[in-house]
Chains A and B, each alone.
Chain A
Amino acid sequence: MHVALLFAVIIGLMLIGVPISVALGLSSILFLLAYSDASLASIAQTLFSAFDGHYTLLAIPFFILASAFMSTGGVARRIIRFAVACVGHLQGGLAIAGVFACMLFAALSGSSPATVVAIGSIIIAGMREVGYTRDFAAGVICNAGTLGILIPPSIVMVVYAAAVDVSVGRLFLAGVIPGLVAGLMLMIGIYVVARIRNLPSQPWAGFGEVLASAREAGWGLFLIVVILGGIYGGVFTPTEAAAVAAVYAFLIANFIYRDMGPFADRSVRRTPLQLLYGVVHTLWHPDTRKTLLEGGKLSVMLMFIIANALILKHVLTEEQIPQSIAESMLAAGFGPFMFLVIVNLILLIGGQFMEPSGLIVIVAPLVFPIAISLGIDPIHLGIIMVVNMEIGMITPPVGLNLFVTSGVAQMSVTSVVRAAAPWLMILVVFLIMVTYIPWLSTWLPYTLMGPEIITR
């Protein structure tokens, strides 16, 4: 009963315009003060334990930073050139290339809004140039951008892994096949529409262009090898992989592509001494500092929500809510099928109002024990959650992808919602597939890393 009141207060606070982090934190603090003998000092300690108790979460700022260097560093532009060279000649080619580019960028970046910004800000303009409507372009990219959190690396997966203590590596692997399937489904959808509406195609530029663009984009795409190869080769932990990715992206952007930093101006000829100074200067060049601050800002925003959600999680576990929910659900005789329906409904509704990472921190510990006792694979559950979050990101009122798409496509949020809706149907079908075909998510991690060890 008290807990229902707690959730009512959280939602009420959010609706009157309190930041999500404060709404979660304040209501949990008040609840703890009213119904338990927790001191304010112990609550502050819980807040601090978001950092020194959850090492996995450390990967988040590094993945965000890597993605920030990628976006300012012109990697996206080169990926798009490669994607257009590969599939641009199909009917509806530029849209299909947009999805392909989003998939590739998703494999470098762990966030959906970042993917939309990086790819969308370039390709939406390009699509309009050759005659696509603004709605079509924005709708496609808004949906394809959500693949950012499904195709590894993924910030939302890191949060899920931290919340319920499963392996980040397994989750990343589990996202590969669903990510490819979702991307393919979107491409097929676009191709069908393109045939019906007779959408334009690009001229086939030849294999020379494919090779040339691949070589250009290769520096950026090699990051996929660094991240995934590093984790699965046992070279480093996911957190270290993220930090290495950030450093690699920094080096590529400054010294190979030279789209930022002191070497961006290609007309200057330098003496060796000036060259050396330039290399050192890169470390505190305004471009570097700006990117660091950008990445820092985003990390702080996400982490402060997660840290406060962890206080709420502390309340819920202290009140033994997960156990009582599990008992009542098992007593009601729910099987895995019904349980997954309910999980999807909770996440879809919650996803409308909450930021994905915060929602995962709260919901994952609630449903995890039930899933385990029903024999559902924890990795499979994680992928279901991620796909739900994808849908949450393109549905109002809180849909980060909608907001950034409205920014890059210069449309109102309401018209982006309308533009994205038809493609959303594909993602809903995909969600049902992922929910009831477990091997889509579990086959790859089982094959490469052995069977799951967390079972009932």
Chain B
Amino acid sequence: MERLGRLTAGLEEGLVTLCLGLMTVITFANVIARYVFNSNILWALEATVYLFAWMVLIGTSYLVRINAHLGVDALVGRTPAGLRRILTLVSVACCIAFAALLLKGGWDYWYRFASVAAFMEVNDTPMPAFLQFIADWMNDGEEYEKLPRFIPYFALPFGMALLLFRFLQAAWQVVTGQRTLIIVSHEAEDMVEAAAAETRAADAARGGRH
């Protein structure tokens, strides 16, 4: 579990970074192409949109790992530890249900484009030559002119599977007591208080000018 966790962490971080970088470069290149070379990269917008979808759908599981999903901790942050553990377990159960439902939906949606509708292509983005071998597997050897739809749509089942994995991992961490909340916590008052006390001490040492 741990090793799989580390491996997927690298994958998630790398994909988020790469997608955002490529999106920026492609959109910028399109502007340059229009004004400097007086032409248009026809597929720029579509490719950027698919990269965006990949970034968000894959990245959302990464956010579970680093505990960066936004939530309301005003209530759970104030409950006693025992109750908080129960509430958090219920929350994680909801998250697991959410990811499982969307994994099923994402798989169903994707599977149609990977089986009976495997011939369907996107509107603009051309098929890179080095991926043409996929045509042998999926399209009876008939080469794709544009990217087949099952490639960008794969972000759905893949991202949701990763998300499910991360929520299961989070549930395990809550059960074993390594984690108290599954949302970003702002009410870490003791930590803030400690930092504030430190600053006060530093002020006092400087002669208490305030």
Specify which chain B residues have a CB less than 8 angstroms from the CB of A217 in the assembled complex.
Answer: none
- Contact for A236 among B31, B84, B88, B97, CB less than 8 A: B31
CA–CA, A309 to B59, complex, Å? Answer: 18
Q: Please determine whether B75 and A15 come into contact, CB atoms closer than 8 angstroms.
A: yes
Specify which chain B residues have a CB less than 8 angstroms from the CB of A14 in the assembled complex.
Answer: 71-72
Whether, in the assembled complex, A222 has its beta carbon less than 8 Å from a beta carbon of chain B, the answer is no
Whether, in the assembled complex, B1 has its beta carbon less than 8 Å from a beta carbon of chain A, the answer is no
CB-contacts of A48-65 with B (<8 A): 48, 51-52, 55, 58, 61-62, 65
CB-contacts of A171-216 with B (<8 A): none
Whether A17 contacts B72 in the complex (CB less than 8 A), given A44-B156, A410-B199, A412-B193, comes out as yes
Whether A292 contacts B21 in the complex (CB less than 8 A), given A16-B75, A58-B49, A300-B63, comes out as yes
Whether, in the assembled complex, B175 has its beta carbon less than 8 Å from a beta carbon of chain A, the answer is no
Specify which chain A residues have a CB less than 8 angstroms from the CB of B71 in the assembled complex.
Answer: 14, 17-20, 23
Whether, in the assembled complex, A25 has its beta carbon less than 8 Å from a beta carbon of chain B, the answer is yes
Q: Please determine whether A353 and B101 come into contact, CB atoms closer than 8 angstroms.
A: no
Whether, in the assembled complex, B94 has its beta carbon less than 8 Å from a beta carbon of chain A, the answer is yes
B72-102, CB under 8 A of A: which get 1 and which 0? Answer: 1111100000001001101100110110011
Min distance, Cβ A358 to any Cβ of chain B, angstroms: 9
Whether, in the assembled complex, B6 has its beta carbon less than 8 Å from a beta carbon of chain A, the answer is no
Q: Please determine whether A300 and B98 come into contact, CB atoms closer than 8 angstroms.
A: no
Whether A243 contacts B31 in the complex (CB less than 8 A), given A16-B87, A396-B74, comes out as yes
- Contact for B28 among A128, A131, A247, CB less than 8 A: A247
- Contact for B73 among A17, A39, A44, A47, CB less than 8 A: A17
Whether, in the assembled complex, B118 has its beta carbon less than 8 Å from a beta carbon of chain A, the answer is no
Whether, in the assembled complex, B182 has its beta carbon less than 8 Å from a beta carbon of chain A, the answer is yes
CB-contacts of A388-419 with B (<8 A): 396-398, 402-403, 406, 410-414
Specify which chain A residues have a CB less than 8 angstroms from the CB of B75 in the assembled complex.
Answer: 15-17, 397
Whether, in the assembled complex, A232 has its beta carbon less than 8 Å from a beta carbon of chain B, the answer is no
Specify which chain A residues have a CB less than 8 angstroms from the CB of B30 in the assembled complex.
Answer: 240
Whether A15 contacts B72 in the complex (CB less than 8 A), given A25-B102, A240-B27, comes out as yes
CB-contacts of A286-309 with B (<8 A): 289, 292-293, 295-297, 299-301, 303-305, 307
Specify which chain A residues have a CB less than 8 angstroms from the CB of B195 in the assembled complex.
Answer: 410
Min distance, Cβ A6 to any Cβ of chain B, angstroms: 15
CA–CA, A260 to B52, complex, Å? Answer: 26
Whether, in the assembled complex, A282 has its beta carbon less than 8 Å from a beta carbon of chain B, the answer is no
Q: Please determine whether B210 and A128 come into contact, CB atoms closer than 8 angstroms.
A: yes
Q: Please determine whether B98 and A410 come into contact, CB atoms closer than 8 angstroms.
A: no
Min distance, Cβ A136 to any Cβ of chain B, angstroms: 11
- Contact for B112 among A41, A300, A411, CB less than 8 A: A41
CB-contacts of B183-201 with A (<8 A): 183, 186-187, 189, 192-193, 195-196, 199
CB-contacts of A426-441 with B (<8 A): none
CA–CA, A321 to B147, complex, Å? Answer: 39
Q: Closest residue of chain B to A38, judged by CB?
A: B105
Min distance, Cβ B210 to any Cβ of chain A, angstroms: 6
Q: Please determine whether B63 and A355 come into contact, CB atoms closer than 8 angstroms.
A: no
Min distance, Cβ A51 to any Cβ of chain B, angstroms: 4
CA–CA, A236 to B45, complex, Å? Answer: 13
Min distance, Cβ B102 to any Cβ of chain A, angstroms: 6
B23-63, CB under 8 A of A: which get 1 and which 0? Answer: 11001101100010000000001101110110110011011
Min distance, Cβ A121 to any Cβ of chain B, angstroms: 13
Whether, in the assembled complex, A26 has its beta carbon less than 8 Å from a beta carbon of chain B, the answer is yes
Q: Please determine whether A296 and B59 come into contact, CB atoms closer than 8 angstroms.
A: yes
Specify which chain B residues have a CB less than 8 angstroms from the CB of A295 in the assembled complex.
Answer: 20
Whether, in the assembled complex, A133 has its beta carbon less than 8 Å from a beta carbon of chain B, the answer is yes
Whether, in the assembled complex, A343 has its beta carbon less than 8 Å from a beta carbon of chain B, the answer is no
A126-170, CB under 8 A of B: which get 1 and which 0? Answer: 001001010000000000000000000000000000000000000
Specify which chain B residues have a CB less than 8 angstroms from the CB of A224 in the assembled complex.
Answer: none
Whether, in the assembled complex, A8 has its beta carbon less than 8 Å from a beta carbon of chain B, the answer is no
Q: Please determine whether A413 and B186 come into contact, CB atoms closer than 8 angstroms.
A: yes
Specify which chain B residues have a CB less than 8 angstroms from the CB of A131 in the assembled complex.
Answer: 209-210
6 other A-B residue contacts (CB within 8 Å) besides A26-B98, A304-B60, A403-B186: A26-B95, A26-B101, A58-B23, A243-B31, A410-B195, A413-B187
